[in-house]
């Protein structure tokens, strides 16, 4: 029997004035005449973002939600090439520690999903170096939170460029250039355009990286293979991880915009997955990637409660009874 835990992404549609992604563009930054004042403003924004994250975690605790994706935009311009000398960590150390302590005290799983510009298989060394820098930024945030950074950042294999197979192998070649400490934060997700579940398994098994299975992406990008035939291998990639298996669940917006996320999750689509993987591992953490964020989770829970084979263990976890 498997315990399924539900989580959601970055923001709440219920909490007011709690955006964890307030930002400042570099153009705006340069318009502030006093460079020190500009830096202090960035730091104030970062502190406000972290405070919003703490509010979000308290909101999650009230609904017994133990799984949450943090915004990658906590510190604006942290990795910008023109601000390389900025020590953005020191001013927010205490704030990050408070956030991490709260998560640990309440046994919450937190992670990140860096943006699409993290491309480790790029043939351009500058893009590769910038990608590693972004991963280091996430590593440092987790470290200062006091959270073990192992398997906390999920991203895609990268671009196809002119030759998909060569690009796949380039990821493997470039992996040896990624510092060991940064390597351990990585999880790989199958994407909806370039790299299929089978492609990702090839890399994950070769490099000992956990694979985050995205059901919606698989339905949008496959070569006729059934994901069920690969599930045992997916679970196997998590055998060395301190964390449970993780997957992403979302539903197509419509047939025409199949790759776009819908506002909510199709409960039947989700339960088809649940039935097929039940019993394959002790716990599966299911990250809801829906436009309505926590409302999508709440609605899914209400629909799950109506199903005769679903037993809700908490407000956001359940088991499937055959």
81 vs 208: CA distance, rounded Å: 31
For tokens 């449970």, the residue is: 244
Q: 206 φ, ψ to 5°? A: -70, -35
Judge whether residue 115 has pLDDT over 90: no
CATH architecture of the region 3-320 = Alpha-Beta Barrel (3.20)
- Percent of the chain whose predicted confidence (pLDDT) is above 70: 100
Measured from the Cβ of residue 256, the count of other Cβ atoms closer than 10 Å reads 7
Average pLDDT over residues 257-266: 96
For 186-226, write each residue's pLDDT tens digit: 999 999 999 999 999 999 999 999 999 999 999 999 999 99
**pTM: predicted TM-score of the whole model, two decimal places:** 0.96
Measured from the Cβ of residue 31, the count of other Cβ atoms closer than 10 Å reads 9
Predicted local distance difference test score (pLDDT) of residue 208: 98
Average pLDDT, the chain: 96
Partner residues linked to 4 by β-bridges = 284, 318
| Domain residue limits, the chain | 3-320
Between 247 and 160, the more confident residue is 247
Predicted local distance difference test score (pLDDT) of residue 162: 83
251 — pLDDT class (breaks 50, 70, 90): very high
Predicted local distance difference test score (pLDDT) of residue 222: 96
The answer for residues whose C-beta is within 8 angstroms of residue 304's C-beta and 6 or more apart is 267, 271, 310, 312, 318
Average pLDDT over residues 221-242: 97
Predicted local distance difference test score (pLDDT) of residue 117: 87
Judge whether residue 270 has pLDDT over 90: yes
234 vs 240: CA distance, rounded Å: 12
Contact 204, 179 (CB under 8 A): no
Predicted local distance difference test score (pLDDT) of residue 245: 98
Predicted local distance difference test score (pLDDT) of residue 116: 84
- Percent of the chain whose predicted confidence (pLDDT) is above 90: 96
Measured from the Cβ of residue 261, the count of other Cβ atoms closer than 10 Å reads 19
Predicted local distance difference test score (pLDDT) of residue 322: 85
Measured from the Cβ of residue 183, the count of other Cβ atoms closer than 10 Å reads 15
Predicted local distance difference test score (pLDDT) of residue 40: 96
């Amino acid at each position: 029997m498997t315990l399924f835990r539900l989580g959601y992404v970055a923001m709440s549609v219920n909490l007011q004035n709690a955006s964890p992604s307030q930002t400042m563009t570099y153009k705006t930054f340069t318009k502030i005449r006093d460079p020190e004042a500009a830096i202090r403003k960035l730091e104030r924004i970062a502190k406000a973002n972290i405070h919003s994250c703490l509010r979000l975690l308290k909101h999650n605790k009230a609904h017994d939600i133990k799984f949450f994706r943090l915004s990658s935009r906590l510190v604006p311009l942290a990795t910008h090439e023109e601000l390389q000398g900025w020590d953005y960590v020191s001013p927010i150390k205490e704030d990050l520690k408070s956030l991490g302590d709260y998560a640990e005290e309440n046994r919450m799983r937190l992670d990140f999903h860096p943006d699409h510009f993290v491309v480790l298989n790029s043939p351009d060394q500058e893009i590769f170096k910038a990608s590693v820098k972004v991963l280091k930024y996430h590593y440092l945030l987790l470290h200062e939170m006091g959270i073990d950074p192992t398997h906390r950042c999920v991203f895609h294999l990268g671009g196809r460029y002119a030759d998909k197979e060569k690009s796949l192998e380039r990821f493997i070649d470039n992996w040896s250039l990624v510092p060991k400490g940064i390597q351990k934060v990585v999880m790989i997700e199958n994407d909806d355009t370039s790299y299929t579940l089978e492609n990702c398994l090839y890399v994950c098994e070769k490099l000992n990286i956990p694979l985050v299975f995205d059901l919606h992406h698989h339905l949008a990008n496959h070569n006729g293979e059934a994901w069920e035939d690969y599930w045992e291998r997916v679970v196997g990639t998590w055998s060395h991880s301190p964390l449970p298996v993780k997957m992403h669940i979302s539903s197509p917006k419509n047939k025409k915009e199949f790759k776009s996320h819908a506002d909510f999750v199709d409960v039947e689509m989700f339960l088809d997955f649940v039935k097929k993987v039940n019993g394959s591992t002790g716990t599966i953490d299911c990250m809801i990637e829906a436009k309505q964020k926590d409302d999508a989770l709440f609605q899914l829970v209400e629909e799950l409660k109506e199903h005769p084979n679903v037993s809700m263990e908490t407000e956001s976890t359940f088991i499937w009874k055959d």
